[in-house]
Amino acid sequence: MQTATAPTALSNEYSDRTFPPFRLSHLLQTVFAPPRGEKICILIDLQDPHGMKDYAFLSDPKLTIQRIAHDTFYKGLQDGVMQELGMSGGEMYAYAITGGSNLDLPDLAVDASGRELSLERDIYPRFDLILCISTYSATAPLTAFAKQFGFRGATLHGVNPIILASGLSVNYDEVSKQAEKLRLGVTRAEAVEIDFGLDGKTYTLRLLLGGQEAQKSHGLCRGGPDVANLPAGEVYFVPTGAEGQFPMRYEDGTLALMTVKAGRVNKVELLRGDADIVAAHREKLLSDPATGELGELGFGTQMLPVSGRDIQDEKIFGTFHIATGRSDHLGGGLTPDRFKSKSNATHDDILFSPTKTPEIMGRQVRMIRDGKTTALIENFRPTAYFRDLLKS
């Protein structure tokens, strides 16, 4: 098979790995194995969903994600993929951008003719497969709607050319096998401890897991109502509690120290950077404490190049992430109704990696299981224990 090297804007040890060229039919067949006759559609987000009319949004060069949704996915469906897979539909709809990760979706949708529709009345019940290619992740709300209406789907927020040429070009049967090997190596852990290094100091966060079964995001969505988050490739837990401290890097480079008690961030201290950003975060935590709840601990399982987008970069083997906020889509108990404001009901991943958090070192991630402590990651590199799991 012809291979292509994924373009890379940032480098890591997997930057030179080659991948097959992206094929939409292969992605859909591998992820969904759709029976012939299923109906598919595409959702995108726009500041004004009426920009969907006559595809007017294509005139805005800043809307690179939405252009990929149109040029690669919508046109790909129309230009033979639906016929190849025996599918129908292929329509494209826009909804108003939510402004936050995993916030509930507005119900209004607009089609290419400019007609206003209801997602819950006109779209969710009519389609078997829904692809959501958006600015912000919609995994949590779409998972809830999938269970309600019976469809399957995938969320591909932030997709870019690097992701198309790597994370969406892999064989997800192999991704699933690899994730399962790593899952078995950490499942039923009692706790995970993480040592962070910053400015010569060490901060430790202890996440309690209660011996739960580890879960995996592996890209296969072949039966029952479900939504895959693509690119996939991680093993994760929903913590039962947490204590300690960890440094956090904001998007502008501001650094702050988070103190965690009883499973929630309850204190934020500026280390360096913009004091106003930290003050705003502190006020949000004080006014709506659920925003600080730690709702996920995840480990990447794939050998992928850095894309500059967390949706792929958190799936890289050797990286790890924690998340605050909503956790119901992962099997946790923090649902949107438990936030004081609906606009705060986000699920926000905090990725730690050499490129995302260059000032913060992930000195060691260690698992406590069956009374034994085992290092999993050191300095953002998988330990021999973690790597050897893939050889089994």
Our CA angle for 29, 30, 32, nearest 5°, is 65
The structure tokens listed for 133 are: 């290619």
Identify the helix (H) or strand (E) that includes residue 192: strand 191-198
What DSSP line would sit under 206-266, residue for residue?
EEE-TTPPPEEE-S---SSSEEEESS--EEEE--SEEEEEEEEE-TTS-EEEEEEETTEEE
Residue type, 97: I
Whole-number pLDDT of residue 11 = 57
Rounded mean pLDDT, 24-53 = 98
CATH 3.40.50 domain residues, the chain: 35-157
Q: Which fold has domain 35-157?
A: Rossmann fold (3.40.50)
Q: Please check the confidence at residue 306 and state whether its pLDDT lies above 80.
A: yes
Partners of residue 118 on adjacent β-strands = 108
Backbone angles phi, psi at 19, to 5 degrees: -135, 155
The structure tokens listed for 267 are: 């204190």
Read off the pLDDT of residues 142-153 as tens digits, 9 standing for 90 and up: 999 999 999 999
Confidence category of residue 117, pLDDT binned at 50, 70, 90: very high
Q: Please check the confidence at residue 267 and state whether its pLDDT lies above 60.
A: yes
Q: Going along 17-87, which residue ranges are E strands?
A: 18-19, 39-46
Whole-number pLDDT of residue 266 = 95
Q: Please check the confidence at residue 223 and state whether its pLDDT lies above 90.
A: no
Rounded mean pLDDT, 220-241 = 96
Rounded mean pLDDT, 242-256 = 97
Task: Please give the share of the chain, as a percent, with pLDDT higher than 70.
Answer: 97
Q: Kindly list the distances between the CA atom of residue 39 and the CA atoms of 23, 223, 290, 350, 376, in Å, as whole numbers in the listed order.
A: 19, 15, 38, 35, 43
Whole-number pLDDT of residue 7 = 39
- Local structure of 198: helix, strand or coil: strand
Whole-number pLDDT of residue 378 = 97
Whole-number pLDDT of residue 13 = 79
Q: Which of 297, 318, 327 is nearest to 364 (CA)?
A: 318
